[in-house]
Chain A
Amino acid sequence: MAEPVLEVHDLHVTFSTEGGLVPAVDGIDFAVAPGETLAIVGESGSGKSVSSAAVMGLLPSNADVTGEVLLDGRELIGLPNDELRKIRGNDIAMVFQDALSALNPYYSVGWQVAEAYRLHHDVSKKKAHQRAIEMLDKVGIPDAARRADGYPHEFSGGMRQRVVIAMALVNDPRVLIADEPTTALDVTVQAQIMQLLEDVQAEFGTAMVLISHDLGVVAEVADDVLVMYAGRAAERGTVRDLFYRAAHPYSLGLLGAMPRVDVPPKLRLTTIPGSPPTPGSITTGCAFQPRCAYTDRVGERCITERPELTPRPGEGDHEAACHLGRRPSDV
């Protein structure tokens, strides 16, 4: 792997709430290199969105963030807000799930893209507007010069997401964090947007962190995958490691639970019993243990000792946090 542009080490995020401390992210590591895509996969409450918000320094004040977030080797955690503002939207940009709430209904889309540019570049309004039109054109908005004067409500969901992507890319960021960028979109539009993200990534060499619950999308665009469960990494590896050599019972369960459009249906889907735990409810042992079908093979250890990510022998950088020590499908 090339030299990573973004590195995250031992990231912890704890929220202090009325009900006490809630550990949303409990020690994760990841890195992403230019032109590469890392997918963070997990269900609700797994901490995947909180991790990305922590990288961007976007968490509310009741969040305690520790660990390292390095952008080109420079520590971002603890940077004062005015320093962070120079980085956000410039070096690291973000695309959210809901494009409608990411846009301001009172301003034309062209103005909003231009504003994002002017925040980081000392240029005239006219120049910035030209740049905005150029970006809108690049992300596939037809007749961009005219449409730039339109307002968000005049655009369809897919077109709005294109505007948001134009806004994120207007400063040529080195890292793009896309948090469920296509979840709110229809599948034909999703295909357009994923294609667009892949194209701009290839053109600009952007490093992308894709946060998604959709394993199909992940399989198509990711190079590496991090599977999160209850705030921790369950498994990490290349996209092929995950889909063809899943080493964690949770990953395997997710793959089996997913109905597929391309093959005849199974009689029954494999299920994972129960539902994902609320953050902080499991403090010792493996967080997946109560739902795990393989815990009987290991015994006490799953309840008492928390599994750490350990390399899978002979599989390169493929790691899983499971006491089983074997691939679940081999058991």
Chain B
Amino acid sequence: MSDELLNLKDVKKYFGLRGAPWRKAQSVRAVDGVNLVVRKGETVGLVGESGSGKSTLARVATRLLDPTQGRVEIGGTDVTRLRGRRLRPIRRQIQMVFQDPQASLNPRQSVGTILSTPYRAQGIRPTRAQLVELLEQVGLAEQHLERYPHEFSGGQRQRIGIARALAMKPGLLVCDEPVSALDVSVQAQVLNLLADLRDELGLSYVLVAHDLAVVRQVADRIAVMYLGTIVEEGPAAQVYEAPAHPYTKALLSAVPVPEPGVSRDRIVLTGDVPTPINPPSGCPFRTRCYKAEDVCATERPVLEPVQGSTEHRAACYFPEPPTSERKQ
């Protein structure tokens, strides 16, 4: 078996819009042709602004949504068309952690019941020891089994969400904004927990987040999404230190940095993300891009290696030059 835990091939997800019957049917192109591979042991950060399609992609990857087109391979098996019972063994390999632990935990179930749900879904009766082990993995204890979600703080609730995702001992966790609802001091605890679990259990993550600093803290590899496509992909250090796509560059420059008095070269983008119902022709970013030329409107640029590195790729006709050639 290869070490590819997840392989998305040209995945598209369109949502049909119900309009008046005499109007032409429209659809939202939430994910518009994405290729992404996640290997064993690595953490891939999926970043982008709202509407970029990152959450939809996460849901397609975990087969919570059916792709409109393309292929989803989990652990080397094509699972695109699997449904119901045949999907069940696949679900053991890939699990999801959601943004809002308040909404993703049933308030009327005790923690013990919540944690035994994944077992029962697989037709297993968990032992108490198994449930306690799960709690201990995320820094909670046996005494918490009988309690209900409202008795916990936000950070603890997110730990319960993570424990539930770990129940089936998956190889890959897809975390959709796992810390964005938490206070800074608690966010750091959860990020450290994710890192610890990765080291202890050899987990892989797909981390979906809008906070670029959070992603930098944990990801090995970054994929930057814009309007349903990946515009840049590469090792975290390279993408953060030498972004090649103008969008990545602008995005990173917009993040405020906790250094008073240090002025930064900020690229302030004008306007908003265009609607995914009718995305621009050619490069999706060209309407806001400071480098756009006529060619950008012709055909959508494909991901191509940057600076001769096959790992680091950007979809741009005018990528930023390598760091060494940039003016100081």
Contact = CB atoms under 8 A, between A and B. Distances in A.
B266 A187 contact: no
Given A186-B50, A270-B188, A239 B155 contact: no
A43 B183 CA distance: 6
A219 B259 contact: yes
A272 interface: yes
Interface string A249-264: 0000111111111101
Nearest to A217: B256
B300 interface: no
A213 interface: yes
A240 interface: yes
A268 B213 contact: no
Contacts of B237: 264
A191 to B, nearest CB: 4
Given A44-B183, A270-B188, A275-B154, A214 B256 contact: yes
B188 A243 contact: no
Contacts of B277: none
Nearest to A275: B153
Contacts of A311: none
B216 interface: yes
A260 B188 contact: no
A222 B117 CA distance: 48
Contact of A43 (B184, B210, B270): B184
B206 to A, nearest CB: 18
B259 to A, nearest CB: 6
B130 interface: no
A44 B153 CA distance: 11
Contact of B185 (A216, A218, A266, A276): A276
B216 A195 contact: no
Nearest to B153: A275
Interface in A227-275: 239-240, 243-244, 253-262, 264-266, 268-273, 275
Interface in A262-294: 262, 264-266, 268-273, 275-276
Contacts of B201: none
Nearest to A191: B254
Interface string B136-171: 000000000000000001111000000000000000
Nearest to A156: B272
Interface in A33-58: 43-44
Nearest to A256: B188
B49 A258 contact: no
A82 interface: no
Given A240-B261, A259-B213, A269-B217, A219 B256 contact: yes
B318 to A, nearest CB: 19
B216 A268 contact: no
A188 interface: yes
Given A43-B183, A220-B256, A187 B268 contact: no
A243 B258 CA distance: 7
Contact of A253 (B185, B216, B256, B257): B185
Interface residues of B, number: 44
A69 to B, nearest CB: 27
Contact of B254 (A44, A187, A270): A187
B104 interface: no
A76 interface: no
Interface in A83-124: none
Interface string B159-194: 000000000000000000000000111111101100
Given A265-B218, A269-B192, A191 B266 contact: yes
Contacts of A66: none
A187 B49 contact: yes
A43 B184 CA distance: 7
Contacts of B270: 192
Contact of B212 (A187, A217, A273): A187
Interface string B216-236: 111000000000000000001
Nearest to A140: B270
A157 B273 CA distance: 11
Given A191-B254, A243-B260, A268 B195 contact: yes
A259 B256 contact: no
A159 interface: yes
Most chain B beta carbons < 10 A, residue from A213, A260, A262: A262
A189 interface: yes
5 contacts: A191-B254, A254-B184, A258-B213, A260-B258, A261-B212
The 9 tightest CB contacts between A and B, nearest first, are A216-B256, A257-B188, A259-B217, A186-B49, A43-B183, A272-B185, A269-B188, A191-B254, A261-B213
Interface of A: 43-44, 156-159, 186-192, 194-195, 213-220, 222, 239-240, 243-244, 253-262, 264-266, 268-273, 275-276
Given A188-B49, A218-B258, 9 more contacts: A188-B268, A194-B256, A222-B260, A243-B258, A253-B185, A261-B216, A265-B216, A268-B192, A271-B185
